[in-house]
Amino acid sequence: MMSKAAPPDDSLSLREATAELPRAFDAALGQHDDSSSLGSDSELNGAAPYRQTDRYGFVGGSGVQDGPEQPPAELIRHREAKWLEMTAHWEKAMARRYKKVKILCRKGIPTSLRACCWLLLCGGQARMEQDKYQELEQAPGDPQWVETIKKDIHRQFPFHEMFLSPEGPGQRGLLHLLKAYTLYRPREGYCQAQGPLGALLLMHMPSESAFWCLVQICEHYLPGYYSPEMEALLLDSEVFVSLLRRVCPKAHRHLQKHGVGPMLYLPEWFLCIYTRTLPFPTVLRVWDVFLSEGAKVLFRVGMVLMRLALGSSEKLRDCVGVVETLEKLRNIPARLLQEDVLMAEVHDVAVSDHDLERECRIQLAKLRKARPDFQYHPERRLPGAKAIFDAQQLRDAQRCKDHRSRPHSVLIPQIKVDPPPPPPKEQRRLERERLKEQRRLERERLKEQHRQQEQAAEKQAHKNPQARKKPDTRGKTFHIAQKALPIPSPVQRGAEQEESASAKRNSAPSLETYF
């Protein structure tokens, strides 16, 4: 009876795993490095018949597959017309019809419009700063980074016509592009995985547009991937393993059994966004969807590759160790990687943004518990073009609000347009309402004035309590007596009776009070 294989050693610390990232990525690059890729002078500078290329610009004999035939011309023109209409009203399309944008991205962006659409999807068009790239391109740059970039440039698509010659537009443009990024983000500097990304962008658009697309990818789609610590990649590797356990348990058990960690295959997949893994037509389709839907596309494609390579017992029959497993992952049959076949399976993988966020929270808590100095925050990553568009709209609105609240140095005249006068009947009604409101306000004003006077009187009485003090009569005896009036003579009595007849009726007896 065969003994069960020992489980992989988990004693490797996270710090050591992070330190292995650059080494693993260098090893992956070495698999594709070809010292003869530059060719001889006759190959580089020969006449056109000796340098025939395919429809993507790759020199014949490079092993690049053309894939299935192109769709009919009528279908291509129809898709181009749809994209032209959307790009002409891009803000309206993203705000109200993003589902249609996502569906068209899944069908594939037409080649003639891919440069414009990629720049709009990633938000690079709105991010462009005037003359910023020209300023960075003309700056000298850090000599250390420039030297490192020059050593890696010849590895990027060596069989593409743009990158054949060291003095050609491709390699020189890529050098300026990557150098500009090191100046724009000096803390991150240069990462080897940025070379394939910049090269692919330069194949489709000018240098300035490619630069801002690269900035958006590194800051919003994959933040933290290209930093020296690569903490984001370390977190996503744990998330990938956790999702693989649910999506493809057979492949997950095989990898765990033979101790094949995610850092042995994920850096090449995720850091390069599959530019070194898939056929070029499929790479373009993956990028169409990636720039539309975000990082979850990387996980979906990885799940499909795992299923194609290690998803059945028959496929695992020859994988008896780490080396054989990695070879199986690198040598998936080309017919299974055709763009339409692969992308149909990618869209069926049950990995959503919600699943990704939930697993990120779980794995982030585990990493921070094991490594207190782990500083990466996955909230910086935006889930696709719609989230980036909304963030830019919010930022622009806030900027306009701040601009309006700022005092202007020049007095801007205010233009006021009066509405047309109402009809006579309406005028009388408005006049009555105005008078009614005026009377109401007057009553409220008088009430408020009276209330203030009462409060003032109470306050004054509180300050001078002796002014209104009543006599202290407690325990005293009151004596009330009527004064004795002098008795008048008969003549005086008669005269007084007539004069004071009425007064007597209202008069009160004269009383004298004493204590």
pLDDT digit string, tens, across residues 323-348 = 999 999 999 999 999 999 999 999 99
Per-residue tokens: 381: 């990553």
- Provide the Cα torsion 340, 345, 348, 352; round to 10°: -100
Q: Please tell me whether the overall predicted TM-score, pTM, comes out greater than 0.85 for this model.
A: no
- The CA distances from residue 435 to 39, 419, 420, 421, 425, in Å, are 95, 21, 22, 19, 16
Identify residue 225 by its one-letter amino acid code.
Answer: Y
- Bin 57: left if φ > 0, else alpha if -120 < ψ < 50, else beta: left
In this model, does residue 6 exceed pLDDT 80?
A: no
Give pLDDT, residue 380. 81
In this model, does residue 5 exceed pLDDT 80?
A: no
Query: SS3 string of 158-184?
Result: CCEHHHCCCCCHHHHHHHHHHHHHHHH
Range 225-230 average pLDDT: 90
Asked if 176 and 136 touch (Cβ cutoff 8 Å), the reply is no
Asked if 334 and 275 touch (Cβ cutoff 8 Å), the reply is no
In this model, does residue 281 exceed pLDDT 80?
A: yes
In this model, does residue 107 exceed pLDDT 50?
A: yes
